[in-house]
Structure 1
Amino acid sequence: MLTKNLPEDIILVIFSRLPVKSLLRFRSVCKLWYALITDPDFVQMHLSRSLATNTNLILILKRYPKFLYVDLNVCKQEAAVELNCPFKSPIGYRILASCHGLLCMFDDDGVVSDFRKEEVYDTFLWNPSTRTHKKLPFTLVEFPINSYYAHVTAYGFGYDPTTDDYKVIRVLQFYPPDGFFDDTKYIVSEVKEVPLPHFVDDKFHMTIGVLGGQLSILCNFSEVCVELWVMKDYGVKDSWEKQFSIEQPSVLGYFDECIRPICYSKKGEVLLETGPGVEKCSGALVLYDPHKGRASNLTPHDSRHIVSIGSLISLDAKDGAE
């Protein structure tokens, strides 16, 4: 057996390079492996490596009322696995954000609609990899005087390293009974100029994003091509590198301002989100292979999605158990 021939620290290094799905199976091999894989220090070690190497990425799709799971190491439409959502609601749930493999979910109506003082909306954390979840305690909203209802204008979910905990934030706007609101406040933040790469032709539409943890820009030269650039060293102009160019209309047809890079697959393909104006694959997720210059649809039209990371973090309750 592996544990008899190798030191424990070497075993942990090997385990840290394995996907979550394999590690979850290996817990049942023996008591020692179970203890190693479930140890909080190893859980953090595995997560840190996944974040540093941009590996173990997963795609969560919502095709009402179902949730589907796609391993981006495999990245095939037929590889999608249906998830059993542990939460039941007549209006359904919406995934708002992901952090360290945990999905933050609200009642769907609690995000898109107004709510009044007496109404309560549930908030859950869910790790679809470990099939565990946690219902968060309801925080009573203190309404200002003369305010009757509120609207969620923004939300956030993330990890706070100072407290070693996760935080959910909702930004509310309050309204009086007549529906008018005039207490407007502005947030001013510092803006830093970032140099762009040198282009032969400066007539293009630019979309800014993050790809593989690096600043990216997608330059759409209308009806000619689309170029993807990433900044390898943030703030350094000479560190811009062109990743690929998609010729129009041969690959995706004609389009304008309608695609966005999301992440890389393990095979080096780029997952692209297409808008309604893309001729050949409108409103779908597309895998583009920059080496072969080919694109294939990963999802059908109008599927909600979020990219997450597979992690071993376990929450309070197992899916299917109260």
Structure 2
Amino acid sequence: MELDDLPQEILINIFSRLPPKSLGKCRCLAKSYRDKLSTPHFIKSHLTRKPHQENLLLITPSYSVRSICTIKDDAIWRKLELPGDWSPVVGSCDGLVLLINKGFEKFLVNPITLQMVKVPNSPLALDRDESVCLAGFGYDSCSDDYKVVTLSHYDTINKPRPNDIFVDVYSVKKGVWKRLDSYPYDHPVELSHGAFVNGAIHWLASSREPGYQSVIAAFNLADEVFVEIPVPRGVDVRDFAFSKLVALGGCLCIIDDQGNSPTNVRIMKEYGLDDSWTKFSIHADYEWDMAKPLCLIGDEDVVLVTEGETLVVYNRTLETLRDMVVDGGPGMAIIGCTFVESLVSPALISA
């Protein structure tokens, strides 16, 4: 019996167990294979099969994009042939990464297939020379759509409504931008891109209530509304100025970095539950500034990228730091994120 003689459901089951790179080779065997392995149904089936390997995507000090497919010491990274200079990594979801180049253009990229699609500029966007814009990226399971969300405001007193925050949402499937009615908070606390966890994009924000205490604002992609997530106990909610909010191992994470040792890291193990926050502290024997934790290696090690553009690994049990070795030397990066290997195409616009 030849492979083509097997029932369709068995074929799909077999292929869905292969890694994306192997599937790419299978697509080249015959047109029938290419057609079978390129349908939205198969791509979704492959994506939902767990577990998926978590990889690192990094922007180097030379503004090139590199990926590390095995996150461990003595890792090997490869340069992604993406033309141009890149800096901000907005975030990733289902194997797609939202990147911004030095010309402030946004691109959705699949680091495995190297497909990339430009996200059009919003017709409502503020002049970038006179404004600040933060972005977030994630998946809306209700509409089966990927969305880009931006928070923007004027950065000059010469413009009208300088205190207003504008919320714009881009539907990847529909290929259209829209502006929401209002932003329910006074201003973002940190000027960084949003963290996507559990169907929502999260930012640290300042409440409009008396006292202007800081809150975790979650933008639900399905309902397109903001809700508040409980903050960790023991955190001073009056001021998050020295805190950063990221996604770590699929969980919401707050880093409280006062510029000296130790740096406190809190992880919300069960989304939305205020008593599920856990804490560990990073103790350093030398002066350093941490930018953000990137990923977990097993139960003990955390990969971090420092303000000094060095990749380091912190062991939570031994409380030790070591350089992450990449291609025989210490890894260097200015920013990064994790992504899973997938066949999801950034070209999802409906006909």
TM-score normalised per structure 2: 0.59
In the alignment, does 2:341 pair up with 1:310? yes
Structure 2 alignment gaps of length 5 or more: 165-182, 186-225, 235-241
Q: Tell me which amino acid in the other structure corresponds to 1:81.
A: R
Report what 1:284 is aligned to. Answer: 310
In the alignment, does 2:331 pair up with 1:300? yes
Equivalent runs, 1:102-117 vs 2, <5 Å: 102-110=96-104
Structure 1 alignment gaps of length 5 or more: 111-121, 198-204, 277-281, 318-322
Report what 2:306 is aligned to. Answer: 275
For residue 45 of structure 1, give the secondary structure of its aligned residue in structure 2: helix
Q: Distance in 2 between matches of 1:272 and 1:309?
A: 16
Q: Given the alignment, which residue of 109, 114, 129 partners 1:126?
A: 109
Residue correspondences, number: 277
For residue 314 of structure 1, give the secondary structure of its aligned residue in structure 2: coil
Q: Distance in 2 between matches of 1:302 and 1:130?
A: 22
Q: Distance in 2 between matches of 1:6 and 1:290?
A: 49
Q: Tell me which amino acid in the other structure corresponds to 2:79.
A: E
CA contact under 8 A between 2:154 and 2:163: conserved in structure 1?
no
Q: Given the alignment, which residue of 242, 257, 262 partners 2:294?
A: 262
CA contact under 8 A between 1:102 and 1:125: conserved in structure 2?
yes
Q: Tell me which amino acid in the other structure corresponds to 2:26.
A: F
For residue 166 of structure 1, give the secondary structure of its aligned residue in structure 2: strand
Q: Tell me which amino acid in the other structure corresponds to 1:213.
A: G
For residue 37 of structure 2, give the secondary structure of its aligned residue in structure 1: helix
Deviations 1:67-113 (A, max 9, x none): 21111x3535551011111x44xx65644332322232334243xxx
Q: Given the alignment, which residue of 135, 143, 147 partners 1:167?
A: 147
Q: Distance in 2 between matches of 1:310 and 1:20?
A: 6
Deviations 1:24-64 (A, max 9, x none): 223234555433322211111222335xx4x3322122222
Report what 1:155 is aligned to. Answer: 135
Report what 1:201 is aligned to. Answer: none
Q: Tell me which amino acid in the other structure corresponds to 2:102.
A: D
For residue 130 of structure 2, give the secondary structure of its aligned residue in structure 1: strand
Equivalent runs, 1:81-96 vs 2, <5 Å: 81-85=78-82, 87-88=83-84, 94-96=88-90
CA shift in 2, pair 1:141/1:283, >3 Å: same
Q: Tell me which amino acid in the other structure corresponds to 1:214.
A: C
CA contact under 8 A between 1:102 and 1:126: conserved in structure 2?
yes
Q: Distance in 1 between matches of 2:229 and 2:9?
A: 43
CA shift in 2, pair 1:227/1:3, >3 Å: farther
Report what 2:285 is aligned to. Answer: 253
Q: Distance in 1 between matches of 2:129 and 2:261?
A: 50
Q: Tell me which amino acid in the other structure corresponds to 2:76.
A: A
CA contact under 8 A between 1:215 and 1:231: conserved in structure 2?
yes
Q: Tell me which amino acid in the other structure corresponds to 1:170.
A: T
Q: Given the alignment, which residue of 60, 74, 87 partners 2:57?
A: 60
CA contact under 8 A between 1:268 and 1:289: conserved in structure 2?
no
In the alignment, does 2:184 pair up with 1:187? yes
Shift of 1:308: 2.1
Q: Tell me which amino acid in the other structure corresponds to 2:343.
A: L
Q: Tell me which amino acid in the other structure corresponds to 2:313.
A: L
**Alignment identity in percent?**
27
Report what 1:214 is aligned to. Answer: 251
For residue 38 of structure 1, give the secondary structure of its aligned residue in structure 2: coil
For residue 9 of structure 1, give the secondary structure of its aligned residue in structure 2: helix
CA shift in 2, pair 1:184/1:260, >3 Å: closer
CA contact under 8 A between 2:245 and 2:254: conserved in structure 1?
yes
Q: Which moved more, 1:26-35 or 1:59-68?
A: 26-35
CA shift in 2, pair 1:195/1:2, >3 Å: farther
CA contact under 8 A between 2:302 and 2:315: conserved in structure 1?
no
For residue 253 of structure 1, give the secondary structure of its aligned residue in structure 2: coil
Larger radius of gyration: 1
Report what 1:115 is aligned to. Answer: none
Q: Superposition RMSD on alpha carbons, in Å?
A: 4.5
Give the structure with the higher percent helix: 1
Q: Distance in 1 between matches of 2:245 and 2:296?
A: 16
TM-score normalised per structure 1: 0.63
Equivalent runs, 1:238-249 vs 2, <5 Å: 248=283
Q: Tell me which amino acid in the other structure corresponds to 2:270.
A: D
Q: Distance in 2 between matches of 1:237 and 1:142?
A: 36
Q: Distance in 2 between matches of 1:235 and 1:103?
A: 25
CA contact under 8 A between 2:56 and 2:336: conserved in structure 1?
yes
